Amino acid sequence: MDFANVLLNIAGRITPSDRRDWLAAMKAEQQEVRSGRLRWAVGCLTVALGWRVAKDGLYASFICASLWFLAATPFFVLEAQLMPAELWDLGLYPPLVYLVAIGLVLGLYRPRLAVYASIGVVVFYDVQATFETYLWVRQMPEFRDQTLWAFLQDLQINNAHLLIGFCAHLGACLCGGLAGRWISKQLKSAKR
Amino acid sequence: MAKRMRSPSPQTIAVLDVLFQQQRRWLYGLQIAEATGLASGSLYPILIRLAERGLLESRWLEPEREGRPARHAYRITGEGRAVLSHALKVRATSGLQEA
């Protein structure tokens, strides 16, 4: 298999289902190209990427915006305004609520990807937040020599053990995602 | 009725023009690419847009050689001819005004 065919296979994988016929048309022509097969294949891949961006650009933008919101929003401000203290006592920390909401939108928008997207968002968010906190802690003179492993052993997420906190985040986002998927299915069946 | 279309780009006019020159024949994408000098990455978005607006029709033709896949071929429609004619007139008028 030459490189041009590899590119066409990639184009086939990323092409949305409603554009499959057009990709087949481009692939069929590629078999007739005598010189410049690679150039033709690069063109096919570019067109397929354009289709994918047009179809999923908004979705990808929402995921990026969610990650930015989770990472950059000053929670101490939002916590005071949006979350009554009683909810804290029940263990409903702001990130959990945000993750349910983000999962819900992800599930509504792309029901099939709800689980993968939720896992991706939570893993990215927790790894990023953990590492950022580690770097921040290491700026203090008394923790300058602390290793990442020692830091992780002491780390808590939402006042719980690291693993439990991560599972709570994942569960919150998955609950939102699955709820979104369920609502989306109900809406589709109601339309029919 | 075709959707309202912004004034077509020179590349779109070139594609329509090639199809118009051979309006009785079905042309393959590769033939249009060779005639217009457009790369596949530029040509196909134009063909898709034209097909969706009803300015060209397309169909799958049986392969000329055994073992090859069917090929997608294109032909200009009446609306396509009208749009091309209008675009060429506009271009000629704006060319005269610039001169």
Which string of DSSP letters, residue by residue, matches B7-41? PPPHHHHHHHHHHHHTTTS-EEHHHHHHHHT--HH
Kind plus residue range of the DSSP H or E element containing A160:
strand A160-161
DSSP track, B44-80 = HHHHHHHHHTTSEEEEEE--SSTTSPPEEEEEE-HHH
Q: Please state the rounded mean pLDDT for residues A63-88.
A: 66
Chain A residues touching B48 at Cβ < 8 A: 22
Q: In the numeric block, which tokens belong to residue B33?
A: 């690419």
**Stretch A30-56: mean pLDDT:** 91
**Percentage of chain A exceeding pLDDT 70:** 89
Q: What is the pTM of this model?
A: 0.65
Split at pLDDT 50, 70, 90, the class of A83 is: low
Whether the per-residue pLDDT at A41 is higher than 80: the answer is yes
Q: Is B29 on the interface with A (CB under 8 A)?
A: yes
ipTM value: 0.85
Report the share of chain A in percent with pLDDT over 90: 40
* Chain B residues in contact with A16 (beta carbon < 8 A): none
pLDDT mean across residues, chain A: 85
Partner-chain contact A43 B42, CB within 8 Å: yes
pLDDT tier for residue A69 given thresholds of 50, 70 and 90: confident
Pick the range with the lowest mean pLDDT from A91-95, A125-129, B30-34. Answer: A91-95
Which of B30, B48, B52 has the most A C-beta neighbours within 10 Å, making it the best mutation to test the interface with A?
B30
**With 60 as the cut, is the pLDDT of residue A76 above it?**
no
Query: Are A135 and A146 contacting, i.e. CB atoms less than 8 angstroms apart?
Result: no
Q: Enumerate the residues of chain A whose CB falls inside 8 A of the CB of residue B39.
A: 39-40, 43
pLDDT tens column, A8-21: 999 999 999 899 99
More confident residue, B6 or A119: A119
Q: Is some CB atom of chain B closer than 8 A to the CB atom of A24?
A: yes
- Choose among B44, B58, B70: nearest Cβ to A26: B44
**Is B39–A29 a contact, with Cβ atoms under 8 angstroms apart?**
no
pLDDT of residue A97: 82
Measured in degrees and rounded to the nearest 5, phi and psi for residue A14 equal -95, -5
